[in-house]
């Protein structure tokens, strides 16, 4: 893998206790829809080894450590669509599974305004240990689910589920749902078209950020490379705070996904 540092396995610290494993959660593994759902930022769990990365509890609860509400939304979608869902069980501050292993933002030294003391001056062995014990198991588990779906369905759709903070670096974000894409905009555009008449929410393509911000790693590795339709859904997290509103967002997104896949003739004979 590009950027990997060769280090003897014996040098690796063990980052997780037996109770803290596995690092990946798979929900509805046998889901019948031609879809793979992914939630890379599902958890703000920081294993004991890291001593909270030097952060306060309030910081660990904030959006810098995870996507608040995203896992709840993704599980609701998994249930509604009957689709398998792959979630990381580790905070993105330990390793951001939506980044390549060699990305400087995979183990960020600062997130928005907050320095992350536990990510400063990492040794090659510490860096490699996180790649080996957090990133690679996620990459492998997601790859397995995608491979299974490709055996069962011609072109399953890869759909990643995220949330974003309403205010970032002091700037208020008006967009409510972003449909992000990189080189293949087919599914994102089909969902946007489906929203016309089905939703009053402010929904935009590649907002509040886009592939130029380095957020398309999962789409590129598991979607584009396999020739699968793909989209990254970003929901403003103030709409996911209440269970009722989160359920409404899930219902809206389910409709948009169903309509888009039908229009693209990707519904596996209308099974979803
Ligand atoms: Zn995210």
Cα of 88 vs centre of ligand 1, distance in Å, is 11
pLDDT (tens digit per residue) in 119-154: 999 999 999 999 999 999 999 999 999 999 999 998
Give residue 11's pLDDT. 63
> Mean per-residue pLDDT for 223-239?
97
Q: Is the pTM of this model over 0.85?
A: yes
d(CA 196, CA 201): 10
Residue 20: other Cβ atoms inside 10 A:
15
Cα(272)–Cα(268) distance, integer angstroms = 7
**Structural tokens at position 161:** 């589920």
Q: Running DSSP on this structure, what letter comes out for residue 109?
A: S
Dist. CA 72 → ligand 1 center (Å): 13
What is the pLDDT averaged over residues 156-166? 97
Whole-angstrom CA distances from 145 to 110, 149, 219, 241 are: 32, 6, 14, 29
Distance from residue 215's CA to the centre of ligand 1 (Å): 8
pLDDT level of residue 268 (50, 70, 90 thresholds):
low
Confidence of residue 37 (pLDDT cuts 50, 70, 90): very high
> For 9-263, CATH number?
3.40.630.40
User: Coil, strand, or helix at residue 148?
Assistant: helix
Q: 166-185 pLDDT, tens per residue?
A: 999 889 999 999 999 999 99
Q: How far is the CA of 21 from the centre of ligand 1 (A)?
A: 22
Cα–ligand 1 centroid distance for 152 (angstroms): 28
Environment of ion ligand 1 (residues, CB < 5 A): 41, 67, 162
Cα(11) to centroid(ligand 1), Å? 31
């Amino acid at each position: 893998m590009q950027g990997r540092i060769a280090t003897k396995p014996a040098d690796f610290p063990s980052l997780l206790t037996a109770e803290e494993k596995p690092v990946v959660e798979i929900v509805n593994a046998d889901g019948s829809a031609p879809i793979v759902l992914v939630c890379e930022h599902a958890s703000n769990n920081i294993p004991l080894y890291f001593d909270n990365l030097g952060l306060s509890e309030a910081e660990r609860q904030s959006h810098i450590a995870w996507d608040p509400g995203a896992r709840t939304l993704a599980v609701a979608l998994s249930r509604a669509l009957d689709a398998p869902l792959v979630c990381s069980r580790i905070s993105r501050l330990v390793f951001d599974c939506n980044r390549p292993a060699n990305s400087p933002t995979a183990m960020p030294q600062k997130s928005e305004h907050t320095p992350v003391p536990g990510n400063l001056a990492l040794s090659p062995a510490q860096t490699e240990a996180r790649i080996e014990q957090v990133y690679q198991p996620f990459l492998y588990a997601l790859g397995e689910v995608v491979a299974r779906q490709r055996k069962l369905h011609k072109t399953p759709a890869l759909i990643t589920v995220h949330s974003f903070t309403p205010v970032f670096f002091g700037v208020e974000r008006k967009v409510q749902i972003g449909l992000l894409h990189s080189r293949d905009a087919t599914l994102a555009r089909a969902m946007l078209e489906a929203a016309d008449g089905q939703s009053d929410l402010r929904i935009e393509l590649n907002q509040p950020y886009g592939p130029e911000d380095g957020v398309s790693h999962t789409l590129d590795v598991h979607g584009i490379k396999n020739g699968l339709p793909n989209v990254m859904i970003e929901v403003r997290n103030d709409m996911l705070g209440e269970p009722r509103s989160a359920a409404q967002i899930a219902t809206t997104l389910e409709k948009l996904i169903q309509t888009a896949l039908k229009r693209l003739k990707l519904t596996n004979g209308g099974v979803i």
